[in-house]
């Protein structure tokens, strides 16, 4: 346990392991509806991400890593259980390669590979509908979210910013705000897609802006109604693309502020 906490704070493998721990409960909750089907999906997903990691590790001659683990788990929780296996393999392969492996692996890219895979899935196969999140899934996310917050791997500012963006935009739009419905639809995607440290902004003011942007985009993409799974995925990828720009602007603003404050 102490090893896990320590390595989660100061090694990349530890970060992945902590995220995977947080994902166990959501996976179990989702999988208990159709255990055998989800077992097949999980094994296929893990094989496809880890095989690509192994191929890139061999080609680029760096030590094998297991970061594809979390990508596979997030993907399996978000997809419909009826998804054909070839679509799962294709999309996850594209996701891990385009989202992280071509950049050099986890942490070098700027988007979460699971988000890339989910986006490509929804774009390429219009008949695929991401299932809405259940209340039990949202509840299952809570312990993992607390664990990641305690370890400092996700930022409370991003969470608060996103909620602020959603509630604010719905309020302005005159839609009734039902916190419980929003929480149910949002929970998993918020913690594992939007809050992902590699995809989110990396300065404290930037984290607020990134969160508000992601929250606003979720409502925009869901047509002013309660968040849908698709809208969370598209908001996550769009906000991640803007995250480096947000950080850059924060740095410029900060430098200017320093100049004014110190003369």
Partner 1 sequence: MPNSAAFIGADYPRLRPVFKLSEGDTVTAGQTVFRDRTRPRIAFVAPISGTISQIAYGPHHTLSLCSITRDANAPEPGARPPTDDLSESNVRETLLTSGMWPALRSRPFGRVPDPDARAAAIFVTATQLSPLAPDPHLVIAQQAQAFAHGMSVLTHLTAGPVHVCQSRQEALCAQTDQIKVTVFKGAMASGLAGTHVDRLHAVQSGHPVWTIGYQDVAAIGHLFMTGEYATHRVVSITGPGAQQPKLMRTCLGARLQDICADQNVEPQNAPPAQLMSGDEITGRASAYLGRFDQQVTLALKPEPLQRSGWRSRLFTRQGPMTPTMAIEQALAPNILPVPLLRALSVGDTDAARRLGVLALIEEDVAVLTRRCTSGADYGLLLRQVLDDLMDEGL
Q: Is 259 in the site for partner 1 (CB under 8 A)?
A: yes
Query: How far is Cα 63 from Cα 73, in angstroms, rounded to an integer?
Result: 22
Please say which residue, 37 or 254, places its beta carbon nearer to partner 1: 254
Stretch that binds partner 1, among 72-80, 98-106, 112-120, 136-144 (CB under 8 A): 98-106
Residues 139-168 contacting partner 1, CB under 8 A: 151-153, 155
Query: How far is Cα 46 from Cα 78, in angstroms, rounded to an integer?
Result: 15
Q: Is 54 in the site for partner 1 (CB under 8 A)?
A: no
The single residue among 82, 135, 204, 225 that binds partner 1, judged by CB under 8 A, is: 204
Q: Is 247 in the site for partner 1 (CB under 8 A)?
A: yes
Q: Is 219 in the site for partner 1 (CB under 8 A)?
A: no
Q: Is 112 in the site for partner 1 (CB under 8 A)?
A: no
DSSP the chain: -HHHHHHHHH-HHHHHHHHHHHHHHHHHHHHTTSHHHHHHHHHHHHHHHHHHHHHHHHHHT-----THHHHHHHHHHHS-TT--HHHHHHHHHHHHHHHTGGGTSTTTSSS-HHHHHHHHHHHH-TT--PPPPPHHHHHHHHHHHHHHHHHTSS-HHHHHHHHHHHHHHHHHTT----HHHHHHHHHHHIIIIIS-TTTS--SHHHHHHHHHHHHHHHHHHTTTSS--HHHHHHHHHHHHHHHHHHHHHHHHHHHHHHHHHH-
Give least dist CB 13 to partner 1, A.
Answer: 4
Q: Is 240 in the site for partner 1 (CB under 8 A)?
A: no
Please say which residue, 176 or 259, places its beta carbon nearer to partner 1: 259
The single residue among 32, 55, 108, 136 that binds partner 1, judged by CB under 8 A, is: 108
The single residue among 7, 21, 44, 87 that binds partner 1, judged by CB under 8 A, is: 7
Please say which residue, 105 or 227, places its beta carbon nearer to partner 1: 105
Stretch that binds partner 1, among 28-36, 77-85, 195-203, 232-240 (CB under 8 A): 195-203
CB 172 within 8 A of CB 220: no
Torsion (CA) 69, 46, 196, 214 in degrees, nearest 10:
-170
Give least dist CB 180 to partner 1, A.
Answer: 28
Please say which residue, 62 or 171, places its beta carbon nearer to partner 1: 62
Please say which residue, 137 or 239, places its beta carbon nearer to partner 1: 239
Please say which residue, 10 or 127, places its beta carbon nearer to partner 1: 10
By CB under 8 A, name the binding residues for partner 1.
7, 9-15, 17, 63-66, 104-108, 151-153, 155, 197-198, 200, 202-204, 247, 250-251, 254-255, 258-259, 261-263
């Amino acid at each position: 346990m102490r090893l896990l906490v320590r390595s989660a704070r100061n090694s990349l493998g530890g970060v992945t392991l902590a995220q995977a721990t947080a994902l166990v409960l959501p996976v179990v909750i989702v999988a208990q509806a159709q255990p055998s089907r989800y077992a097949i999906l999980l094994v296929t997903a893990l094989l496809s991400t880890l095989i690509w990691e192994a191929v890139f590790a061999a080609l680029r001659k760096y030590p094998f890593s297991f970061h594809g683990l979390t990508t596979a788990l997030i993907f399996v929780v978000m997809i419909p259980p009826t998804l054909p296996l070839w679509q799962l393999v294709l999309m996850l392969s594209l996701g891990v390669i385009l989202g992280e492996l071509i950049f050099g692996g986890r942490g070098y890219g700027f988007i979460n590979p699971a988000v890339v895979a989910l986006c490509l899935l929804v774009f390429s196969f219009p008949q695929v509908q991401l299932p809405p999140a259940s209340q039990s899934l949202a509840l299952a996310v809570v312990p993992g979210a607390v664990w990641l917050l305690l370890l400092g791997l996700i930022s409370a500012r991003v969470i608060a910013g996103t909620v602020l963006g959603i509630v604010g935009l719905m309020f302005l739009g005159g839609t009734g705000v039902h916190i419980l419905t929003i929480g149910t639809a949002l929970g998993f995607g918020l913690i594992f897609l939007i809050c992902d440290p590699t995809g989110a902004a990396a300065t404290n003011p930037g984290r607020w802006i990134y969160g508000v942007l992601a929250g606003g985009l979720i409502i925009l993409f869901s047509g002013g109604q309660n968040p849908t799974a698709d809208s969370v995925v598209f908001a996550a990828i769009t906000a991640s693309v803007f995250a480096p720009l947000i950080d850059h602007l924060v740095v410029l603003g900060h430098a200017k502020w320093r100049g004014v404050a110190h003369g």
